[in-house]
Amino acid sequence: MTTSAAWAVSETNSRGRLHPEPSPGIRTEFQRDRDRIVHSTAFRRLEYKTQVFVNHEGDLFRTRLTHSIEVAQISRGIARALGLNEDLVEAVALAHDLGHTPFGHAGQEALNGCMKVHGGFEHNLQSLRTVDLLEEHYAAFDGLNLCYETREGILKHCSRENAAQLGELGKRFLEGTQPSLEAQLTNLADEIAYNNHDVDDGLRSGFVSLEQLDDVAVFREARQEVEALWPALGGRRLIHETIRRMINEMALDLIATTRANIVAAGIETLADVHRAPRLVAYSEAMQPRLRELKAFLRHNLYQHYQVLRMTDKARRIIDDLFGAFMNDPRLLPPQYQLRAKTDTPRAIADYIAGMTDRYAMREHRRLFAVGEIY
pLDDT confidence of residue 307: 86
> Cα dihedral sign for 44, 49, 52, 54?
positive
Residue pair 51/67 in contact (Cβ under 8 Å)? The answer is yes
C-alpha distance across the termini of the chain, in Å: 51
pLDDT confidence of residue 4: 77
Q: Taking the CB of residue 85, how many other CB atoms lie within 10 A of it? A: 27
Degrees, nearest 5: CA angle 124-126-128: 75
pLDDT confidence of residue 1: 46
pLDDT confidence of residue 43: 97
Query: Residues with Cβ < 8 Å from 352, sequence gap 6 or more?
Result: 101, 102, 111, 318, 321, 322, 325, 360
- What pTM was computed for the model? 0.94
> Cα dihedral sign for 314, 320, 323, 326?
negative
Query: How do the domains of the chain map onto residue ranges?
Result: 29-307, 308-368
3-class DSSP state of 17: strand
Residue pair 325/348 in contact (Cβ under 8 Å)? The answer is yes
Helix 29-38 / helix 86-95 crossing angle, nearest 10 deg:
20
Q: Domain spanning 29-307 has what CATH number?
A: 1.10.3210.10
Radius of gyration of the chain (CA): 22
User: Read out DSSP for 71-93?
Assistant: HHHHHHHHHHHHT--HHHHHHHH
Name which of 148, 213, 110, 130 is nearest 16 in CA terms: 148
pLDDT confidence of residue 50: 80
Q: Which residues pair with 50 in a beta bridge?
A: 63
Cα–Cα separations (whole angstroms), residue 26 to 13, 15, 61, 83, 207: 19, 20, 37, 22, 48
pLDDT in tens, the chain (374 residues): 455 799 999 999 999 999 999 999 899 999 999 999 999 999 999 999 887 765 555 566 888 999 999 999 999 999 999 999 999 999 999 999 999 999 988 899 999 999 999 999 999 999 999 999 999 999 999 999 999 999 999 998 888 888 999 999 999 999 999 999 999 999 999 999 999 999 999 999 899 999 999 999 999 999 999 999 999 999 999 999 999 999 999 999 999 999 999 999 999 999 999 999 999 999 999 999 999 999 999 999 989 998 888 889 989 999 999 999 999 999 999 999 999 999 999 999 999 999 999 999 999 999 998 765 55
134 exposure class (CB count in 10 Å sphere: 0-12, 13-18, 19+): buried
Name which of 246, 144, 145 is nearest 194 in CA terms: 246
Q: Report residue 76 CA to chain centroid gap.
A: 15
Residue pair 55/63 in contact (Cβ under 8 Å)? The answer is yes
**CA–CA separation, 146 and 9 (whole Å):** 14
Name which of 324, 307, 306, 308 is nearest 360 in CA terms: 324
Name which of 189, 178, 186 is nearest 273 in CA terms: 178
Q: Taking the CB of residue 3, how many other CB atoms lie within 10 A of it? A: 20
